Chains A and B, each alone.
Chain A
Amino acid sequence: MPRVEAVGIRKRFGRVTALEACDLAVEDGEYLAILGPSGCGKTTLIKILSGLWEPTAGRVRVDGRDVTGVPVEERDLGYVFQNIVLFPHMDVWRNATYGPWVRARPPPEIQRVGREVLELVEMLDERGMFPSELSGGAQQKAGLARALANKAKLLILDEPLSALDTRVRLDLRYALRRVVKDLGLTAIHVTHDQEEAMSVADRVVVMRKGRIVEADAPEALYERPKDLFTANFVGENNFLEGSVARIVGGWAFVEFRNGHQLRVRAERLLVGDPVVVAARPESLAVARDGFGNVIPGRIQGARFLGSTKRLIVRLFTDDVVSIDLPSSQSLNTDRDVMVSFNETSVLVYPRPYMGLQEALRLE
């Protein structure tokens, strides 16, 4: 598949700006996820990339060639799969082989392609079933088989799993990624589910309010998000507002309310900087007493979450944090503990001028 690139995309609907200054390139063989809350413009962006809609400003290029304004079929993208709806009166086999059949391919080829694609999505045994007899997950797999039989090179998947039960979703995520990688296809997968985005994609593009916030590999996005919005949207996080009190030998000491301090890496920080410190629930620990990088607090509640337990702790800085611990660790509520922050996993951001809540808001 050629390289598809969007440069400086803006899209307006009347007075509403749906996209602003979006730059994005999809490489050959890449599995790209576009992640964001409802209304962030992610569907609009893929409609422009695939040529269904024209941007108000900006260019779309295919292998460097400007195709803005060129009809979809003339863009040399090959066939583009868009959440195919199955024909209800055809069984899985006829749905899957519909493309080769319409193109009047010889019967042996139809047989071969049909078997190939249905084996790939693990639906060969269900070939005689009709869509109404299939679960939601199986319907999606049959749709995917049809796209593959059509020799799609680029799969554009708009929330392909959102209607499915939690248990089916995980299996299908893996099936999607495996098929795309085995066949060397390119995929753009739009979702609001951060876990889904991270588990299927090579790279995740985070969008918010019509703009691209950042794009990165899943593990980097989770462990070192560049933007506060991402730090909150991808996984859960605790945020503490403070300011840099002093800098000593590569470490910055951030002071919070009531004089409590934490040590963090001092990269790009200056004394007096207002900052936000982010720490994930699983990166925090508690102890009866302790020293080092700790803030005291009082346990307000505990919830059993299966193999982990979630503690709600009100720090003496008046911040309330969530902490995930192994379920085996027993602690009573209404007692004081020391919460320890791992200085290599906490992240520090400049405090946003619009205020923390506004910077994290989902819509």
Chain B
Amino acid sequence: MAEVVLDRVSKSFGSKRALRDMDLTIRNGEYLVVLGPSGAGKTTLLRTIAGLLAPDRGRVVIGGRDVTRMPPDARGVAYMPQTYALFERMTVWENATFSPTVKGWPKEQRDLLAREMLSMVRLIDRAEAYPRELSGGMQQRCALARALAADAEVLLLDEPLRALDARLRIELRNELRGLIQHVGTTTVHVTHDQEEALILADRIAVLRGGQLLEVGTAEDIYARPSSAFVANFLGEMSFFEATAFPSEDGTARLAAGGTNLLASARAGLTGRVLAGIRAESCGVAPPDWRAGQGVEGVVRRRLFMGRRISLEVDAGELGPLKVKPLTAQARWVREGERVFVVMPEEDILLFPMPAGGVSAALEVE
């Protein structure tokens, strides 16, 4: 258990600036999820903390010690890379017990720990297998068990669940959270999956182009994202351009594509703004039903997804809206039908109009 501090860390590869003046403190015992598109610098960040990359500038401090010039094995971290880096000539069991063995743990205690970790990742039945005999997903689980059994002060996980079957991923992320919370290890977990981030994180850090855009609890970032990019990355959003007028009660009045809407979150902006609403915040009703404020449109596509139905509604001048109501509320909706999209005023987010255009502001790569 230890606090990790990145102090103005920069790293370039040739002309590509992978990390730019990164200031980030990961608190003692915190589970920090780093979220961002490919190429945002997420893996570079982990490798810098692990000591596999030396920063061009800045310091890395773990548990109060400046480790910037220390080799990886002196830092007390366990790093699980995307490539797993399993020991090919060792069995699953030997991989999982490697680190505690090196540290000279008593056999009994070591075995107990390895058994618990291999059970959690559902590999205890394959303890005698070699990595090459395992599927990609199993190798990933083996690497995760090895990292968890390393008893490190800081755990660095790079997309640790990516190769797993969708269903198993859900099971393991629930258990991973419980386990690490119990042990209290400081953890940095990199992913591009926003649902995984919401479920696991104490705090989320959003990266883009080597820069830290925002760090905060899931609730803060979700409710009050600092930019349209962050909002869009943390959940499916629809954006539309609008003109905002202030009103006395603290809400903003919006004129957008021939429709008038109220927006109560971040109502301080006026003039041309970029407005956005999350697909899950929108409701859907029959056109004559008019429940609250919103717009009418035609359903262009409908995908059943289980607990939710994903709709794309053509809302005329407002553009296409993504709407993801719970199945129980939208079972009746069919493609080609007119519907009323409910857009609650507290869920409409306003952003300053991006100077470089909307699509550049949202671009993920």
| Contacts from A to B (Cβ < 8 Å) | 37-39, 135, 165-167, 170, 173-174, 177-178, 192-196, 198-200, 218-219, 222, 233-236, 280, 282, 303-308, 310, 324, 362-363
Given that A195-B305, A306-B278 are known contacts, is A38 also in contact with B135, CB under 8 Å in the complex? yes
Chain B contact residues, majority secondary structure: mixed
Residue B48 is within 8 A (CB to CB) of chain A in the complex = no
| From B170, B301, B328, B365, contact of A236 by CB (8 A) | B170
Contact A199 B166 (CB under 8 A): no
Residue B192 is within 8 A (CB to CB) of chain A in the complex = yes
Given that A39-B135, A165-B192, A199-B310 are known contacts, is A362 also in contact with B278, CB under 8 Å in the complex? no
Contact B304 A219 (CB under 8 A): yes
Residue B85 is within 8 A (CB to CB) of chain A in the complex = no
Contact A173 B303 (CB under 8 A): yes
Contact A222 B306 (CB under 8 A): yes
A198 to B171, CA, bound (A): 19
Report the nearest A residue to B177, measured CB to CB: A303
Hey, which chain A residues are within 8 Å of B90, CB to CB? none
A303 to B326, CA, bound (A): 19
Contact B167 A280 (CB under 8 A): no
A sample of 15 cross-chain residue pairs with beta-carbon separation below 8 angstroms, ordered by A number, consists of A135-B365, A193-B166, A198-B304, A198-B306, A199-B304, A199-B305, A218-B304, A222-B307, A304-B198, A304-B218, A304-B222, A305-B199, A306-B235, A307-B280, A307-B281
Contact A305 B198 (CB under 8 A): yes
A233 to B165, CA, bound (A): 11
Residue B122 is within 8 A (CB to CB) of chain A in the complex = yes
| From A166, A218, A304, contact of B219 by CB (8 A) | A304
Number of interface residues of B (CB under 8 A): 38
| From B171, B199, B301, contact of A174 by CB (8 A) | B301
A39 to B192, CA, bound (A): 26
Given that A304-B219, A304-B222 are known contacts, is A199 also in contact with B303, CB under 8 Å in the complex? yes
Hey, which chain B residues are within 8 Å of A167, CB to CB? 364
Interface residues of B in 216-235 (CB under 8 A from A): 217-219, 222, 234-235
Interface residues of B in 136-175 (CB under 8 A from A): 137, 165-168, 170-171
Distance from B133 Cβ to chain A, minimum over Cβ atoms (Å): 13
Beyond contacts A282-B328, A324-B307: 13 other A-B pairs, Cβ-Cβ < 8 A, are A39-B135, A135-B365, A166-B194, A195-B166, A198-B305, A198-B306, A200-B303, A218-B304, A304-B198, A304-B219, A304-B222, A306-B218, A362-B165
Contact with A along B179-204 (1 / 0, CB 8 A): 00000000000001111001100000
Residue B101 is within 8 A (CB to CB) of chain A in the complex = no
Contact B167 A192 (CB under 8 A): yes
Hey, which chain A residues are within 8 Å of B307, CB to CB? 222, 235, 280, 282, 324
Hey, which chain A residues are within 8 Å of B326, CB to CB? 282
| Contacts from B to A (Cβ < 8 Å) | 38, 122, 135, 137, 165-168, 170-171, 192-195, 198-199, 217-219, 222, 234-235, 278, 280-281, 301, 303-307, 310, 326-328, 331, 364-365
Given that A38-B135, A192-B167, A234-B306 are known contacts, is A306 also in contact with B364, CB under 8 Å in the complex? no
Hey, which chain A residues are within 8 Å of B122, CB to CB? 362-363
A237 to B244, CA, bound (A): 44
Contact B167 A37 (CB under 8 A): yes
Given that A192-B165, A304-B218 are known contacts, is A38 also in contact with B198, CB under 8 Å in the complex? no
Given that A38-B137, A195-B166, A306-B235 are known contacts, is A170 also in contact with B310, CB under 8 Å in the complex? yes
Report the nearest B residue to A322, measured CB to CB: B174
Hey, which chain B residues are within 8 Å of A282, CB to CB? 307, 326, 328
Hey, which chain A residues are within 8 Å of B305, CB to CB? 195, 198-199
Given that A167-B364, A306-B222, A363-B122 are known contacts, is A192 also in contact with B192, CB under 8 Å in the complex? no
A235 to B218, CA, bound (A): 23
Contact B301 A235 (CB under 8 A): no
A324 to B280, CA, bound (A): 14
Contact B166 A166 (CB under 8 A): no
Contact B167 A194 (CB under 8 A): yes
Hey, which chain A residues are within 8 Å of B194, CB to CB? 166
A304 to B217, CA, bound (A): 9
Distance from B88 Cβ to chain A, minimum over Cβ atoms (Å): 21
Hey, which chain A residues are within 8 Å of B165, CB to CB? 37-38, 192-193, 362
Contact A362 B167 (CB under 8 A): yes
Contact B280 A235 (CB under 8 A): no
Hey, which chain B residues are within 8 Å of A174, CB to CB? 301, 303
Contact B278 A307 (CB under 8 A): yes
Distance from A64 Cβ to chain B, minimum over Cβ atoms (Å): 32
Nearest 3 Cβ contacts at the A-B interface: A307-B280, A199-B303, A193-B166
Hey, which chain A residues are within 8 Å of B306, CB to CB? 194-195, 198, 222, 234-235
Hey, which chain A residues are within 8 Å of B222, CB to CB? 304, 306
Hey, which chain A residues are within 8 Å of B217, CB to CB? 304
Hey, which chain A residues are within 8 Å of B195, CB to CB? 305
A165 to B194, CA, bound (A): 12
| From A37, A173, A195, A235, contact of B168 by CB (8 A) | A37
A363 to B172, CA, bound (A): 14
A135 to B167, CA, bound (A): 26
